[in-house]
Amino acid sequence: MQYRNYGKMGFKVSAFGMGCMRLPRIFVGDHSEVDREKAWEMIRYAADNGVNYFDTAYGYHNKTSEEVLGEALEGGLREKVKIVTKQPFGTMTDLKTGGGKNVLDNARRNLENTLKKLRTSYIDVYLIHNIGKSTWEDTKKEKIIEEYEKFRAEGLIRGIGYSYHGRYPTFKEVLDFYDWDMCQIQQNLIDVEREATEQAIRDAGKKGTALVIMEPLRGGNLAVPPAPIQGIYDEYKEKRSGVEWAFRHVLNYPEVSTILSGVTTLEQLKDNIEIFSKPEAVPGCLNDEEKKIIARVRDKYNSLKSIPCTGCEYCLPCPKGVNIPGVFGKYNEGIMFGTFEPARRSYMFQARSGQDASLCVECRACEKKCPQHIEIARQLKVTHEKLKGWVE
Ligand code: SF4
Ligand code: SF4
């Protein structure tokens, strides 16, 4: 296993971090839950084979991921690894969930629950989960960082960080606001400039903040390249899987401390550990020819999109709350990656948050604003039929 420095915290972490958001599942009646036996086996295998970084969150797997991780690490493994978990602002404000009187009471109550579930007395790095433009304002207003500092002073947590989904300007604002121990952003070979961007990677490195990458395989979509993409990879003299190409893209950045991958099977885990243990799995691992191949792969993926939505968001807001570019993005992912399974799963989350295409009342107000002249209402019907119905 290759190891890298973790910002200013003074320890090294495995370049591969095991994400505990896609643990194996079994169906029980009409729903699924974590297959604990299999998940424990995978977590213990990882810890026994050089992985010392485990990422989870309060909400993963219907709030059971932390518990499963804690069970797996009990009995000697916990002290050998770093546990990183997250509390979302929405949970801090949910009075029913926390049972407290206000946001800060809830934050503390939720952390106490997390510690119990993880069967540990401290969290190595505690994150504010999924900061975005609006939650950032609330995070400052409610003085969440100050509360996290109290947790740290009490020895309940050791580092303070945040995970981020959104555009670069807010990322930069958050990064510069505080002396964070770490930040976590999305980066993969086709979304180089989509969310926080490569500039965010450079900024975090300059500041000495540990940088953790999530979604290097874009929810697993880059693992099995469709034929036009595989054709490009096959032109290269050295044969590599789509998974290895995708990991190498992020391993190449010297600023990156660890790369999270949410594994579902022991075979995937073993394959990932093998890739991250190669001598060449280090910063600067891509030569110029390899960078050109990745750029061609990116262009080819983008050319496979079937709805010409650029994600400009001019059509928003929809009066019914439909996340029009988000929905089209899921549909395009299904076409681009040759499988609709991951897209259908994430569409279920859009539906849960009241943003899916079923809410469209066909008023067509959005269509007048779309520079791509997309028949939005009609296309939303098509996408909904294709993406609906995922159960877990
Ligand atoms: S047509 Fe549908 S998506 Fe567009 S604004 Fe009206 S309700 Fe929203
Ligand atoms: S305005 Fe058109 S191109 Fe832009 S996000 Fe909306 S649907 Fe996509």
Q: Closest residue (by CA) to atom 8 of ligand 1? A: 318
Ligand 1 lined by 361 (C-beta under 6 Å): yes
- The 3-state DSSP class for residue 241 equals coil
pTM: 0.85
Q: Closest residue (by CA) to atom 3 of ligand 1? A: 360
The CA distance from 155 to 111, in Å, is 12
Ligand 1 lined by 297 (C-beta under 6 Å): no
Higher pLDDT, 358 or 32: 358
Counting atoms of ligand 1 from 1, which one is nearest the CA of 365? 5
**Mean pLDDT, residues 189-202:** 85
Counting atoms of ligand 2 from 1, which one is nearest the CA of 312? 4
Contacts of 140 (CB under 8 A, 6+ apart): 177
pLDDT at residue 119 tops 90: yes
Distance of CA 184 to the CA centre of its chain: 8
Contacts of 167 (CB under 8 A, 6+ apart): 133, 195, 196
Distance 362 CA to ligand 1 centre (A): 5
Ligand 1 lined by 327 (C-beta under 6 Å): no
Which range among 83-87, 262-266, 287-291, 307-311 shows the weakest confidence by mean pLDDT? 307-311
Query: If you average pLDDT over every residue of the chain, what do you get?
Result: 92
Q: Closest residue (by CA) to atom 8 of ligand 2? A: 309
pLDDT digits (tens, 9 = 90+) for 127-182: 999 998 878 998 998 899 999 999 999 999 999 999 998 889 999 999 999 999 99
The CA distance from 127 to 159, in Å, is 8
Q: Closest residue (by CA) to atom 2 of ligand 2? A: 370
Q: Closest residue (by CA) to atom 6 of ligand 1? A: 363
pLDDT digits (tens, 9 = 90+) for 239-256: 999 999 999 999 999 999
Share of the chain above pLDDT 70, in %: 98
Q: Supply 389's token pair.
A: 């119905």
